[in-house]
Every structure is written in structure tokens, then in C-alpha cells.
Amino acid sequence: MRSEPALIDAYHRRISYVRISVTDRCDLRCTYCMSERQTFLPRENLLSFEELERLSLFLIDQGVTRLRITGGEPLVRRGILDFLKRLGAQVHEGRLKELTLTTNGTLLAEAAPHLAQAGIRRINVSLDSLDAGTFRRITRGGDLKKVLDGIDAAQKVGLKVKLNTVALQQDNRGHLPEMIRFAHAHGMDISLIETMPMGEEIVGREDQFVSLHDVMADLQSFWDITPLSDTTGGPSRYYHVAETGGRLGLITPLSHNFCDTCNRVRITCTGQLYMCLGQEDHVDLRAALRADASNAALAAALSEALRHKPKAHDFFIGAQAPQTAYTPRRTMSVTGG
Ligand code: SAM
Ligand code: SF4
């Protein structure tokens, strides 16, 4: 039975949305996300599907209404589609409002019908360029056609697709208008994301960082862009682009702190619950699961963790970093973006 009250943190933010990373592995090596010779965690460190399922059901009992499955690349984990179908039963039963997925799209063409069957209605696909060569360079070897075929297959089975595009000063800043036109022409929202300083071993990030304030100034020089009041409780702020007739989201962790309305926590592929992407405070749910903790013990761990959800993150890129600035050691592929 669903317990009340729902999860509330020390700043009175209601936590209704959890992102769960199911793997740190990936078939791409995006330059801003992973190093070229990324080493992956031993498999036994990852939560098993049984553990992931128990945890997900527990979170739903605790009042979580939206779950996003991410990674690494979630679709590379063997057995993921069956797991999603089991979890999707919670959507069909009305206990979960929404089950969503973030993917790089390379395996989407085959997976799309299974995702729709599982009760998934929306997915985010990450795509940083429509130029095959640039895409290959950013992803260190990815095949753009597979992703475009995947998007097409997803739309054909009725999945609503949103594109996520990391804005990169050197690699794609000049391609962003084309990406936005493409998304809107195909009935997709698109969110632009500032590169976040995650993962100590990633080199050259400072050179690739571009503030979305500057990108918006470029776009507003030739497009009529008006803010929308739409909010998902997530980090995107939305705008309407008159000329393309579509919705543009901006995710600006560096140039605009969006923590006030943050309704989410993240669980890494090793079962570590992070209250904030940009902070180290976490609780080891895997240890609790493997010690066969009761739901009451898990609930106690969760509410203790929430008391420590910070008011805001302290990301910073550049030489003038304040003393509180901090670069998480873990990459986005471990934490789950
Ligand atoms: N592999 C899947 C994908 O690429 O969509 C899911 C995981 S990936 C870590 C999730 C999102 O995080 C992607 O949109 C990716 O572009 C973004 N991302 C990864 N590293 C990032 C960073 N350092 N700063 C900003 N976004 C990042
Ligand atoms: Fe893989 Fe996604 Fe990271 Fe790219 S952003 S390397 S696709 S996990």
C-alpha cells in the first residue's frame, strides 16, 4: 500500500521523480561524458534486475510517481526490455504516472515497439549533431544513421520523442539552429544542455563550455523566442520559437541555478542514492538491499537521505571558481543523466 506522507526534503520540496541508472556501460564514448578508454565497473557491483525491481516498487510505495531509466546506455544492458515490461505493469495498474527512458538511440530501432508495449509514452534521445562526421567525432565512433532510424521507429510506434543536445562551443554551437529546426519539423521538443563538470578525467571541457545565455542571444538575433510557463519540476525552462513552431528547453546548471523547484533524486547503477547531481552526499541503498533490509529500514534510509538533499549545487567551470565550487569525481554515465 502507498505510504503517506510523500517524500519531502528539508526545504519542503516534494520528491516525486527518481532517475535510476541501470548500467555505467555504453556503446558510445561522448567526449564530454567519458574518457576514450573508460573502465567499467565489475558486473557484480551493479544492482541486479531483482534488486532494481524491488527498489522501484518500494519507491512507488513511498509516493514516487515518475521513474526515468537511464545509464550509461540503458538499452545495452541485456534483459532491460523485460525489466521495463515488468516495471511498466505499474503504469498499466495506475500506480506509476510515468515510466520514461533516456537513450542515445543507437539500439532504439529494434527496442521501440517493446518500449511502447511496456507502457512507455515518452523518451529522451540524446543527439548532438546532424552531421555524420561531427556526430562520429563527438561520440568517438557513433553512427548517426542508427540514431535517426531509432527516432523514426520510436515515432512510428507512437512514442513522443524529446531531443537532448549538449551545447559544445567547438563541436556544435554553429549547428544548433539546424538541430532545433530539425526537431521542430519532426514534431519533437528539444532541450539544450550546458556541459556540466562531472568526471575528473575529462579533458578540454573548459574549451567546449558555452553559456546558453550566449546561445540564446545568437538564436534571438534571427528568431522570435518567447518564454513559456510550462514546467516539469525539472531543470528545463521552456520557450516557444515562432518561426519553427516548436518548444525549446534550456538546461543551464552553470549559468542559472534551477535547484529551488528540484523534485528529483538519482540512483546510480550501484544503488547509491544521490540527492543532487552536483554533490557527494549519498546513501548506499545497495548495502541495505543486500542486507535484506525490511521496507521500514529502506524507508528510514530514504528519509534520512532526504533530510540532506542540499538547497543547491555548486557547479563551476573556469579559472575563477569560488571556494565552494566542486567537480564530482563520478561521470554522468555512472550517476545517470
Ligand atoms: N546514454 C544515454 C544518453 O546519452 O542519452 C543516457 C545517459 S547520458 C549520461 C544522459 C544525458 O546526459 C545525455 O543527454 C548526455 O548528453 C548528458 N551528459 C553526459 N555527460 C554530461 C555532462 N558532463 N554535462 C552535461 N550533460 C551531460
Ligand atoms: Fe554514452 Fe550517453 Fe555518456 Fe554518450 S552521454 S557516452 S551515449 S552514456
C-alpha cell at 210: 558555452
CA distance linking residue 195 with residue 254, whole number of Å = 8
pTM: 0.90
Residue with cell 519507491: 59
Answer yes or no: are the C-beta atoms of 151 and 109 closer than 8 Å. no
Please report the pLDDT score of residue 148 as a whole number.
98
Please report the pLDDT score of residue 238 as a whole number.
95
Ligand nearest to the CA of 103: 1
Distances (CA, A) of 233 to 33, 160, 176, 260, 262: 24, 19, 25, 10, 6
Domains assigned to the chain: 17-335 (3.20.20.70)
Task: Please return the burial class of 284, using the count of CB atoms within 10 Å of its CB with bins 0-12, 13-18 and 19+.
Answer: middle
Task: Please return the burial class of 94, using the count of CB atoms within 10 Å of its CB with bins 0-12, 13-18 and 19+.
Answer: exposed
User: Does residue 73 have its Cβ closer than 6 Å to ligand 1?
Assistant: yes
CA distance linking residue 234 with residue 83, whole number of Å = 25
The ligand 2 atom at the shortest distance from the C-alpha of residue 26 is: 1
b/e 298-335 (16+ beta carbons within 10 angstroms → b): bbebbeebbeebbeebbbbbeeeeeeeebbbebbbbbb
User: Does residue 278 have its Cβ closer than 6 Å to ligand 1?
Assistant: no
Per-residue model confidence as pLDDT tens for the chain (337 residues): 444 445 776 666 677 889 999 999 999 999 999 988 889 999 999 999 999 999 999 999 988 999 999 999 999 999 999 999 999 999 999 999 999 999 999 999 999 999 999 999 999 999 999 999 999 999 999 999 999 999 999 999 999 999 999 999 999 999 999 999 999 999 999 999 998 877 666 777 778 889 999 999 999 999 999 999 876 656 778 999 999 999 999 988 665 555 555 667 889 999 998 877 666 678 889 998 998 778 888 888 887 777 765 555 554 445 455 555 555 556 666 655 5
- The residues with which 205 forms a beta bridge, in sequence order, are none
Please report the pLDDT score of residue 3 as a whole number.
47
Please report the pLDDT score of residue 315 as a whole number.
45
Q: Between helices 49-61 and 80-92, what is the axis angle to 10°?
A: 20
- The residues with which 256 forms a beta bridge, in sequence order, are none
Please report the pLDDT score of residue 153 as a whole number.
98
Is 266 annotated in some ligand binding site?
Answer: yes
The ligand 1 atom at the shortest distance from the C-alpha of residue 70 is: 6
CA distance linking residue 36 with residue 144, whole number of Å = 19
User: Does residue 104 have its Cβ closer than 6 Å to ligand 2?
Assistant: yes
Ligand 2 centroid to residue 282 C-alpha, Å: 23
Q: Where are the alpha helices (DSSP H) in the chain?
A: 49-61, 80-92, 108-117, 132-139, 144-156, 176-185, 205-208, 212-220, 285-290, 295-307, 332-335
Residue with cell 519542503: 12
User: Does residue 192 have its Cβ closer than 6 Å to ligand 1?
Assistant: no
Answer yes or no: are the C-beta atoms of 112 and 157 closer than 8 Å. yes
Is 269 annotated in some ligand binding site?
Answer: no
3-state secondary structure of 62: coil
CA distance linking residue 210 with residue 197, whole number of Å = 13
Please report the pLDDT score of residue 196 as a whole number.
81
Choice from 19, 23, 102, 267 to test ligand 1 binding pocket (greatest atom count within 8 A of CB): 102
Return the closest-CA partner of residue 163 out of 69, 234, 99, 248: 248
Distances (CA, A) of 90 to 43, 82, 107, 118: 27, 14, 24, 10
User: Which residue owns the Cα nearest ligand 1 atom 14?
Assistant: 126
